[in-house]
Amino acid sequence: MIDLLVVGAGPAGLSAAIAAAEQGLKVKVLDEFPKVGGRLLGQLHQEPSGEWWNGIEMGEKLHQKARLEGVNIQCEVSVSDISRTDFGWSVYTSVGMIKAKNLLLATGASETAIPLPGWTLPGAISIGAAQVMGNVHRVKPGNSCVIIGANVLSIAIANELMLCGVKVKEIIIPETGPVAKDAGVPEKVMASLMRLTHLAPNAFLRQAGKFGKFVSPKVAAQFFPKNGIRVLGIPIRVKKAAIEIIGEGQATGVRTVAVTPDGKRIQGTEQVTEADFVCIAGGLAPMSELASIAGCSFKYVEELGGHIPLHSERMETAVPGLYVAGNITGVESAKVAMAQGKVAGLTVAFNTNGASKKTEMLVKCALDDVRKTRANALIEFQPGIVEARERIYVQFEQERIAVKQAITVS
Amino acid sequence: MTMRVVNHPVLGKLPEQNRITIRFNGQPYEAYEGDTIASALMAQGVKTLRKHEMSGEGRGIYCNIGHCFECRVQVGDRKVVRACLTPVSEGIEIHSLTAFVKGGQTK
Amino acid sequence: MSDEKTIVCRCEEISFQTISDTVREYSCSSREVKLRTRAGMGYCGGRTCRHMIDTIVAGINQEPIADEIQLSYRPPARPLTFGVLGGMQHDNESR
Ligand SMILES: Cc1cc2nc3c(=O)[nH]c(=O)nc-3n(C[C@H](O)[C@H](O)[C@H](O)COP(=O)(O)OP(=O)(O)OC[C@H]3O[C@@H](n4cnc5c(N)ncnc54)[C@H](O)[C@@H]3O)c2cc1C
Ligand code: FES
Ligand code: FES
């Protein structure tokens, strides 16, 4: 039987598979996407050193390493259901049932949407969809686009689309409302963009940060030029909000309105920006569906992007034989996901092969690496990640004790 | 018209791919081996993949990575797949799902 | 935001208006609003809409988003065919 079945061939799943296989475990990885690499595949940022972070190359490296270690990887397989059995897990997939002793969920994150009239039109797509189309499939969704949502991911991907030859006409904000909330309030948007100053992964983001270096977000929003600031030729307009995606049969543009620093519409300022396609950039949230089926308990943690399965720093959940790693435990960069994956793979080996001093040391080193990687992260999706993680680990230990007590009592 | 990104300043030149022919709603389209159904059709400027069952409004890809199920298309006689996850193959027959109409017929 | 024209659940075409009216009328949870309106009951299984619905419901009820996953996931997480359920093979999305 398989010792470890990994769901998700992204940076976390692959790194875990490699680490576990290196310790002699029999490992299989499943992914529903046709290519190995998960969301690494679309990534292309310039580091402060000027070097490019090329997700396709990194994905390829991990893939080869995994194959070398004898990991069995199967793409185009969807996992639809899982259940616990006395031997471990039965995993139901689009190609039948697979049995495994241990299960690692590394299903990553999904994008959060911001609904507005017209967003169901063909040609209105998520920002990630455009990234994958351009960088992975090497197809432009159109020659020009408007991006709704000004955040770290949308700015990075705007740059990537430009490299693909797409004219990004403007990055604007959604209109504030019950879902968009602060993402539609210019002074709040400024505050979050200004956090990127020193972390900025490339010149592009650094410039956006520079703008507000010496003033408060409120003042920055107040004096933010009506025409936006241009970064590498792309205007970012934080005081212009999208109110509708327009088009007959497919998207052909966005109806916009100017808004005050606190997000109120300014009468008589409606405009239309035409574009071949429109991207919605709402942000990312951990994808928790399978963990929920498996019986994990959850916490809603804003800093980590949403609902996350309660887990230890060693990537164990309270459910025996069930592990998690990567963005399912909170939205962070691919480098953190890789480091977490290694911890998970080693922990599974530690728990399967029996505790040994050597594996214990390896786990400790891997944990250290996660902390270091996190501290040096260039892209931080939310502030307060480190503190939020510490809270989760404490809550997990409390639950573990509670469960143990419940078992001894009964 | 093709929307392929042939020359990319960082990723380099698009490697030469085998060309194949796929059919979408009876029409032939050129595709590259390694395309998904969604990327092959997008490269040809086709954005509408299906009609919503109830309203009949056109729909295309939204997430492009298998999460939203908006890109459902029929392959062959009855198999329904996500266009964004399904690779193309020579001669593959793809059909749009259509809106329900009264009496259980499809438009 | 024009509430009627703003679709929240794309699969079932449920508008923001319908969801917020229902939450107000029954002061209900995400799970209940899902059962009442079908928002979140479609193919996406919540991956596109769960966060939106949670946010809308929490906003109207003026309470924080709950720790439990409010839209109870019912397996299968991915729609399956009869073929697969019957132990046959590969056709993963048709119903
Ligand atoms: C659209 C998008 C764009 C992103 N862009 C960036 C970026 O530019 N820079 C950055 O630093 N971070 C980006 N991220 C964050 C990204 O999540 C992390 O960088 C990193 O890829 C997370 O790694 P992971 O291994 O946890 O998950 P992923 O890389 O997301 O891998 C998860 C894998 O699991 C598979 N999977 C999920 N569910 C199932 C199932 N039920 N059955 C079978 N397979 C399944 C998926 O197909 C996927 O391949 C992006 C995330 C998304 C969603
Ligand atoms: S576009 Fe979302 S599943 Fe294919
Ligand atoms: S969008 Fe309809 S179920 Fe999620």
CATH 2.60.40.1120 for domain B17-95: no
Q: How far apart are the C-alpha atoms of A122 and A384, rounded to whole Å?
A: 37
Q: How far apart are the C-alpha atoms of A113 and C50, rounded to whole Å?
A: 10
Statement: residue A223 has pLDDT above 80: no
Residue ranges of alpha helices (H) inside A90-141 are: 127-131
Residue by residue, DSSP assigns C38-66 as -TT-STTTTTTTHHHHHHHHHHHHTSPPP
Q: Which residue has the tokens 């069995």?
A: A72
CB-based contacts of A349, cutoff 8 Å, min separation 6: A19, A20, A23, A24, A25, A359
β-bridge partners, B7 = B13
Interface of C with A in 22-41 (CB under 8 A): none
Which stretches does DSSP call E strand in chain B? 7-8, 12-13, 19-24, 27-32, 50-51, 58-59, 72-75, 79-82, 93-96
- By the CB < 8 Å criterion, does C13 face chain B? yes
Q: Which residue has the tokens 């009949």?
A: B56
Indicate the residue of B54, B63, B74 with minimum beta-carbon distance to C13.
Answer: B54
Q: Hey, what are B65's tokens?
A: 């990575």
Q: How far apart are the C-alpha atoms of A346 and A364, rounded to whole Å?
A: 10
Statement: residue B99 has pLDDT above 90: no
Predicted local confidence at residue C75, as pLDDT: 54
Task: Say how many Å lie between the CA of residue B64 and the centre of ligand 2.
Answer: 4
Predicted local confidence at residue A228, as pLDDT: 75
Instruction: Report the SS3 class of residue A178.
Output: coil
Task: Give the number of the atom of ligand 2 that is nearest the alpha carbon of residue C48.
Answer: 2
Residues of chain A with CATH 3.50.50.60: 2-110+285-409, 113-282
Which range of residues forms the domain containing residue C29? 7-85
ipTM entry:
0.94
**Cβ–Cβ under 8 Å, residues C23 and C52:** no
Predicted local confidence at residue C56, as pLDDT: 95
Q: Spell out which residues of chain B touch residue C92, defining contact as CB-CB under 8 Å.
A: 81
Q: How far apart are the C-alpha atoms of A96 and C87, rounded to whole Å?
A: 6
Closest residue, chain A, to B63 (C-alpha): A129
Burial grade of A267 (CB within 10 A; 0-12, 13-18, 19 or more):
exposed
In-domain check, residue C25: yes
Predicted local confidence at residue C88, as pLDDT: 33
The dihedrals phi and psi of B39, each to the nearest 5 degrees, come to: -70, -35
For chain B, the structural domain boundaries read 17-95
Predicted local confidence at residue C83, as pLDDT: 38
Task: Kindly indicate the confidence band of residue C84, based on its pLDDT and cuts at 50, 70 and 90.
Answer: very low
Rg (Cα) of chain A, in Å, rounded? 22
Task: Kindly indicate the confidence band of residue A191, based on its pLDDT and cuts at 50, 70 and 90.
Answer: confident
Q: How far apart are the C-alpha atoms of C38 and C14, rounded to whole Å?
A: 8
Q: What is the pLDDT of residues B42-98, one digit of tens each?
A: 999 999 999 999 999 999 999 999 999 999 999 998 899 999 999 999 999 999 998
Torsion sign, CA atoms B21, A124, A308, C28: negative
Task: Say how many Å lie between the CA of residue B67 and the centre of ligand 2.
Answer: 6
The pLDDT > 70 percentage for chain A reads: 94
Q: How far apart are the C-alpha atoms of B33 and B103, rounded to whole Å?
A: 40
Predicted local confidence at residue B59, as pLDDT: 98
Predicted local confidence at residue A230, as pLDDT: 73
CATH 3.50.50.60 for domain A113-282: yes
Q: How far apart are the C-alpha atoms of B104 and A173, rounded to whole Å?
A: 43
Q: A touches which chains (3+ CB pairs under 8 A)?
A: B, C
Predicted local confidence at residue A226, as pLDDT: 74
In-domain check, residue C75: yes
CB-based contacts of B34, cutoff 8 Å, min separation 6: B17, B87
Task: Say how many Å lie between the CA of residue B82 and the centre of ligand 1.
Answer: 18
Q: What is the pLDDT of residues A69-123, one digit of tens each?
A: 999 999 999 999 999 999 999 999 999 999 999 999 999 999 999 999 999 999 9
Between B21 and A156, the higher pLDDT residue: B21
Closest residue, chain A, to C58 (C-alpha): A178
In-domain check, residue C22: yes
Q: What is the pLDDT of residues A290-321, one digit of tens each?
A: 999 998 999 999 999 999 999 999 999 999 99
CB-based contacts of A137, cutoff 8 Å, min separation 6: B35, B36, B39, B42, B43
Task: Say how many Å lie between the CA of residue C46 and the centre of ligand 2.
Answer: 13
Predicted local confidence at residue A410, as pLDDT: 59
Q: Hey, what are A390's tokens?
A: 């510490």
- Worst-scoring range by mean pLDDT, A52-66, A184-198, A341-355, C57-71? A184-198
Planar angle of CA C29, C31, C37, nearest 5 degrees: 95
The ligand minimizing its distance to the Cα of B63 is 2
The dihedrals phi and psi of A257, each to the nearest 5 degrees, come to: -145, 150
CA–CA distance from A107 to each of A39, A74, A136, C24 (Å)?
A: 10, 15, 19, 35
Q: What is the pLDDT of residues A138-176, one digit of tens each?
A: 999 999 999 999 998 999 899 999 999 999 999 999 999
Closest residue, chain B, to C11 (C-alpha): B70
Statement: residue A264 has pLDDT above 70: yes
What is the torsion angle, in degrees rounded to the nearest 10, for the CA atoms of residue B11, residue B15, residue B20 and residue B24?
Answer: 10
Residue by residue, DSSP assigns A315-353 as SBBSSTTEEE-GGGGS---HHHHHHHHHHHHHHHHHHHH
Instruction: Report the SS3 class of residue B35.
Output: coil
Predicted local confidence at residue C93, as pLDDT: 42
Give the CA count within 13 Å in the CB-facing half-sphere of A366. 27
Q: How far apart are the C-alpha atoms of A393 and C13, rounded to whole Å?
A: 39
Statement: residue C81 has pLDDT above 50: no
Q: B touches which chains (3+ CB pairs under 8 A)?
A: A, C
Looking at this protein, which amino acid is placed at residue C45?
G
DSSP A388: H
The pLDDT > 90 percentage for chain A reads: 79
Predicted local confidence at residue C87, as pLDDT: 35
Average pLDDT, chain A: 92
- CATH code for the domain in which residue C55 is found: 1.10.10.1100
Nearest to B30 by CA among B88, B22, B38: B22
Over range A28-37, report the average pLDDT: 98
Which CATH entry fits the domain spanning A2-110+285-409: 3.40.50.1970, 3.50.50.60, 3.30.870.10, 2.40.10.10? Answer: 3.50.50.60
